[in-house]
Structure 1
């Protein structure tokens, strides 16, 4: 292929074709009239045409394009449709020709008309989920499978995007980059890629390929669940015969624009392609060099195109993200990407043979070396001590020598909080505590590369050995023979192996990159002569399968693929790879996770005795007295139980016993528990889809007084909702049956913390009491200080109930619940026999319950709920002002809800968007789940130690996601 031809094809401006001329073409050749919309292209010209007969694309290219090239495209479109690939049809002109040769203003053009595929490309998608990357890779594979059997003379063509010409094109176009630093970067990356590609070229299969399966040239549409689905493939302008792997390299290059700076995010597309259309090892190894060359050609081509066609807005808009593609292609060592790509295709990279090496530290080889556990479950880690700088090294130094850390272990000390990026936690080497002065020797022949007096690298033919902690490093460039002295240690030594001659690897890798880095940085066990490898983590998928096989599936877990959580600290939960997730929904752990006071109280009381409340011990009296201190005046009896369900179940029995009736009012959309009685009064269809059809006749649900989306809106709606209370009470009166009472959450918990209309409970309670019923306040979720502004939710309504039920935060995770009431109500139950809860009020539970109250007081958690809660609510309200999807901010303190709606007037619930938001928050390191009957409200119930910094991170993340679009 003459270089001049390639240069000429890469240096043409777009054709010149005005809208009036386009209209003339459509009328004269196709009998079509309609509106035009210009579509972007680098060297062609495209218009969307909207007509009464349908929607089309008018395409015009230079007359210098060979007719056979365009006929090959048309033939491929028909061929792919026969093979089930969604591709547009060509609409013949009145003459019957699919391809027209015309001349406009002395400019020879080739013109054709194609059906328009409705949908949109994902080019400007601000965040591309991994699922879409995988689907794009699988689509590319399906096209290549289909095109493997396609042939046409027009496939033999000269095209600037053909990677077989990339090296020549880069060399020619380099001068168009005016910035010398950028020009040097492009030249270096292209040279590195060309060197890696050269020995593989002869092994690469050749076939017809589309060569442009990108976010620009695949159109998508959302389905009813708002998931993106492929509608079709467009723009076959780069169709030709070249290396098969070139097609995937183009797709991967385009995805680098969506990789958020991390090139390993594209591996999903590689795995998906390989699963559909298996690749050869040579192709897998060639993929990343081809991606790098594509990145170089992209930026150079755009710079060239702007030079010859400065008015091309399409190119001008694209050049910024093409430089982003280039920078991402240059972001990690090429060797790492090769390993990662091989792993994505299920292939294990080759490992070096270290069997002939001399021991690095002869003094410890074969000795018993103490392993120091620095992992997530390490017994050395407690009460957040791992957060102190230098924790690992101090712990290692405190052990008798010799001692070592573990290779491949995910270290808790490396976690970080309130950040979207994964922490680099996986150790790619080993740290040792040895006797100062311990002699080191070269394991293999090599050259010493000195960093400073204590650090450096021994570079051998096949690998590099990085050392840190020498008393005096050898001179830079010193040639060392196997077994030759390398100096001595200072007592601390860091050892790391790395294959190849790349720049110095990091000592820690993120979990997402760990597998590739561990393959590139193998264990130094053989060189040390001691076992220093960590035990592999349990497979979380296998563990989940075991759960599903033995644990009843109606007991759901958060997320389809949940993180494996085994540790928590304050308002964070930590997975086994050391990533800390901001816990924004755990209203059980009010004090936070891992609180040392809870551990101490539990351990001490367990070491003494734990039994049931029929035995005589001080803790039960002390805790009951403490509960009455926080209850309203007149409350003088406590029942201790295990859970909120048990508390509410007992409250129903108390109401029945005291009133002599069984009829109970409950409020729609509420949840009260899972026992037979509490399920009967629970009407939340989010928790039980059959809730409204399975009420027994003694339960009388009243209309939910939801001021935001109920039948009546606003703060003055109490009287409107009370009409339904009156109607239900009148029906009970007419039946001659006795009312037992009414149960209600004083603040709507499952609806996201929505307050009841002012005055609602005052009037409802009065109506119930007039008929001899009792009023039950379900404070299980909203009480105990969580609301910030009030200790009890009923305080907001200015009422005092007859029975208070509570649980959740009472025990900070210890099974503990309570019912507080008056003596006459409590004693009414005695006529039916005594009450007993096996573990309710046990010594351990009572001691923990008292400790929770003390810690909340001593650490100012009630004040924190009020002050940080106000700040939190204000920040959520600012989201409502900014984003139409954010319909309302509910609640107070640390019981908040952000309700998502598609329309502020109709309040159509944005249920799918809410779930997508929660899943995206998880990717950013935040646990959040939807609530409400429509699952369109964020359930915001964090531990009460949550800080303003965590609030800011959460709200900023929600803001980011809403700005990206859902």
Structure 2
């Protein structure tokens, strides 16, 4: 007979006391303890407490040997809170005595002090401590083995869960029977095949609340574990699963309770990823086994009401868990164990970080005008999204000046806490906490707005989720990342056109039309918008998915449903309202900044970040930068940024100390220049560089007289304004300085000698000769210098006639002067066909001036000249620039050259520039307002005239167009003597795609102007 079939011993206290005296030589008081199969009593003797255990006559002696071996092993491991086995006077683990039903083993173990867990108040701290205790116990049991632990037929072993599946039929209630049958079916397919690959060890297997001891002084601390009668060899993770099954029975928050126990356990004994994935199911199987066994015994013993009463807590917990997505609970276990909540999330995030994606709506939402639709009280006047008044309110937010072709979108943030989710569908069976955090990104736009697939994939489901405040028409697409990792995108609140567009199983291409925004009556009762989200796992869902998650479980939800901005790629400002918008900054600026500092556009912009050819404003809207030549290799280029940070963290000081950096950069820079241009000076701006260039020339020649071009601009210092007719001839200027001679501006379109021929070039160069003679007439000596941009910038993006600089330089040198090429705007490959603008004219200057594009906007500029001029400049007066040539600037300069060369930006400038000029030419054929198109590479201009015969400048129209395309999200500016030239000098990363955006915006602006938009 087994211990289950043999009645437990029921000896009187006096007989038990005799056993204690006989075998341990102890005398004391005995008090009976409750026990299922054995007879136990507490012994108080000689100031200590023990437990006397008399085994059932049918108890397997091998099991008693196993228990003794485990207790000795744990004592040797230093495991606290475990009973210690007290040897008999004969040195044995146990003694034999008659039980009344046959011989039984009598043993003595130490008492573990403290109340039972069942009598202690519950807390998360206590559960974490329980998990930690089980973890320490499991760690201590690693490496222990015993033949009696292999109990293949042990009913309560979780490894044998399938053995009681046939008893599901004994569950009386049909609904409960179906629930448990479903658990066994899931166990067969999902769990049982994985068990052989999991770690195994000898387990306690019964850490229930009547076997767990807590600290009397601190009930949050688990102090011990007793009753080793169910020990067996099994999957190591079973230990935690069994403890969790009992600990969760009355937990008000199952999520928090599970996390606490798992976190405590892994802090002491880590579990594997596979173990984490089966833990939840094994926990439920312990409960399923319990109700099956009790139901079988209730059928065998129909008069024992206790058997059915005792299963009620287990059924109650199983029913609660049955209302929760099982795969979400698996994800929770994974996260609590220290893994990502889903296996694929890291691969999906990595793939999406670099994947090419199509816009979900068009135009690209990154370029749309926008409003962050926050529900946190930021917009106190905003109706709820479920209030039909929202439509009118949102329409009223669209700026009146916004062109019709520009989308105005509202964005609802990922992760936003929303009080609107108040209906029962957002309540939770496992926790009193509602789901309130938004797991997608909302895009608000008019009903019927088209939706496009951002990635290629397969239609997983097309469903109508009809509950109020649900998604309405819902599309889910399945995608694949490298390595076969699947992930999904969901599109909610769609129009009834969805079923007509797609069917499950259909392949879709990136950029394919897949849906339209739904109206109120078909999208769950919301204002027209798209709820877009990514799922790394469908969990147990089909046709629908959670759109809101728990605050306390956000780390789990954000792995299951990562930020959809991985695909949308909207600037973070799209989801916030700036407390300091442009109108507030303008008021501060009026008080703090001098009014002569200009600011662009009729509607002022506040830029907060840059990326490549894009600038991003305070609302998160991306503007295509078609005018900022200073950020030569693109805004915030990562290679340049890294160079700044790296060197700034190491050293930044002046040039009075030796350094390889300044020499390395000087040699690399001058290697790009022809002939004898080998000596470099480094300064902080183009203005400083031009000042220094003129100082070198004037010192070398011994004269100050300078010849400049009309409408030239060389800097903002006093000395540079003196040689900049663009400044001193205009409003607020002053008479021409007496040491400056102004040569005729060599404008092939509007100047004295029209055309690009060499004859025109020589004719204009003749005026340089005239200026040189004027200098000689005034001073009796020739001019010191001739300074000119290699292509005129502020003069209107003017490319000089062929041979102009060659002839002009010849006149200057014949008169003993120095030729200075101002390459601040046109150097470093911008002109495409050459690295330096002067090379287009076939000349070699004596001095070359470079400005901030050399450092991508970092305060770095340079002057390069010949050894001869440098020697003549060294006349005894020291030249020193505190931070010109500092180590950080030199590192930046090297990084910029790396990018120009490494990314082939000069070739790109040529290709993109030719493409732009061709398209400008096509526009000119259709728009009479365009008088001239000119430029080289990414340095181009479009001159606007009201009459092509008279060349009357269209100044107002040019300003109107610049502001119009700014409203479309494209940044340009005007230049030229009449401010009637649209100038384009974008960052060199500008490509054909960006050129198309620019030109499409211009087409709209010209069309609107012609239609009466009016300047």
Query: Radius of gyration: which is bigger?
Result: 2
TM-score (norm 2): 0.47
